[in-house]
Structure 1
Amino acid sequence: MLGQAAATPTNLTRLIHHFRSGALLVRSWPLAGGVSARVTAVEIRLAHGQAERLVVREYGARDLQANPDIARQEFRVLRALHAAHLPVPQPHYFETGALVTEFMEGQPEFEPADGASCVRQMAAFLARLHAIPPTRFSFLRPLALPSPCPRQPDESLSESRIRDALNRLDTPLSTRPVVLHGDVWPGNILWSGGRLTAVIDWEDAARGDPLADVGNARLELLFFLGVKALHAFTSEYAVLSGANMTVLPHWDLRAALRLCGRLGDWGLEQGLERQMRQRHQEFVDGALEQIQQT
Structure 2
Amino acid sequence: MIDLAWVQEHLDAGERVVDAEPLHGGLTADMRHLTTATPDGRRRHLVLRTYVDRPDAADWLSRESHALTELETTAVPAPELIAVADPALLMTWMPGRTVLTDTGLIPALARQLVAIHAVQPVERPRPFVTLTTAATVVTPDGADWSAAIDVIRGGHPPYEGVFLHRDYQPGNVLFDGNHITAVVDWAGTSWGPTDLDVAHCATNLALLHGPTWAHHFIAAYEQAGGALSPHRHYWLIRDALAFSEELEPATHPWRNSTRPDLTPELVAARLTTYVTTLMTP
TM-score by length of 1: 0.83
Q: Is the 8 A contact 1:185 1:216 kept in 2?
A: yes
Are the structure 2 counterparts of residues 60 and 207 from structure 1 closer, same or farther at C-alpha, using a change threshold of 3 Å? Answer: farther
Q: What is residue 48 of structure 2 aligned with on the other side?
A: 56
Which of 144, 156, 160 is equivalent to 1:171?
156
Q: Which residue identity does 1:97 align to in structure 2?
A: P
Q: Which residue identity does 2:53 align to in structure 1?
A: A
Q: Is the 8 A contact 1:13 1:25 kept in 2?
A: no
Q: 1:6-21 residue pairs with structure 2 within 5 A?
A: 7-8=1-2, 11-21=3-13
SS at match of 2:21: strand
Q: What is residue 71 of structure 1 aligned with on the other side?
A: 61
Q: Which has the higher helix share?
A: 1
Q: What is residue 233 of structure 2 aligned with on the other side?
A: 249
Are the structure 2 counterparts of residues 270 and 197 from structure 1 closer, same or farther at C-alpha, using a change threshold of 3 Å? Answer: closer
Q: Is the 8 A contact 1:78 1:90 kept in 2?
A: yes
Residues of 2 paired with 1:224 and 1:87: CA distance? Answer: 24
Shift of 1:180: 0.8
Q: What is residue 123 of structure 1 aligned with on the other side?
A: 110
Shift of 1:255: 0.9
Return 5+ residue gaps in structure 2 as ranges: none
Q: Which residue identity does 2:101 align to in structure 1?
A: E
Are the structure 2 counterparts of residues 202 and 236 from structure 1 closer, same or farther at C-alpha, using a change threshold of 3 Å? Answer: same
Are the structure 2 counterparts of residues 231 and 86 from structure 1 closer, same or farther at C-alpha, using a change threshold of 3 Å? Answer: same
Residues of 2 paired with 1:271 and 1:19: CA distance? Answer: 41
Q: Is the 8 A contact 1:159 1:260 kept in 2?
A: no
Which of 159, 183, 191 is equivalent to 1:207?
191
**Identity across matched positions, percent:** 24
Q: Is the 8 A contact 1:153 1:159 kept in 2?
A: no
Residues of 2 paired with 1:158 and 1:202: CA distance? Answer: 35
Q: What is residue 269 of structure 2 aligned with on the other side?
A: 278
1:203-255 Cα shifts (integer Å, max 9, x gaps):
11110001100001111111113344323321221122341453221111121
Q: Is the 8 A contact 1:238 1:244 kept in 2?
A: yes
Q: Is the 8 A contact 1:250 1:287 kept in 2?
A: no
Residues of 2 paired with 1:263 and 1:60: CA distance? Answer: 22
1:12-40 Cα shifts (integer Å, max 9, x gaps):
24313224343221111011142111100
1:51-110 Cα shifts (integer Å, max 9, x gaps):
101000112434xx2352322321120121132121111111111111111111111111
Q: What is residue 129 of structure 2 aligned with on the other side?
A: 144
1:172-231 Cα shifts (integer Å, max 9, x gaps):
2113x0111111222111111222111111111110001100001111111113344323
> How many corresponding residue pairs?
272
Residues of 1 paired with 2:266 and 2:190: CA distance? Answer: 30
Q: What is residue 84 of structure 2 aligned with on the other side?
A: 94
Q: What is the root-mean-square deviation in Å for CA atoms of aligned residues? A: 2.4
Q: Which residue identity does 1:174 align to in structure 2?
A: Y
Which of 21, 25, 38 is equivalent to 2:30?
38
Return 5+ residue gaps in structure 1 as ranges: 1-6
Are the structure 2 counterparts of residues 246 and 69 from structure 1 closer, same or farther at C-alpha, using a change threshold of 3 Å? Answer: closer
SS at match of 1:221: helix
Residues of 2 paired with 1:19 and 1:160: CA distance? Answer: 55
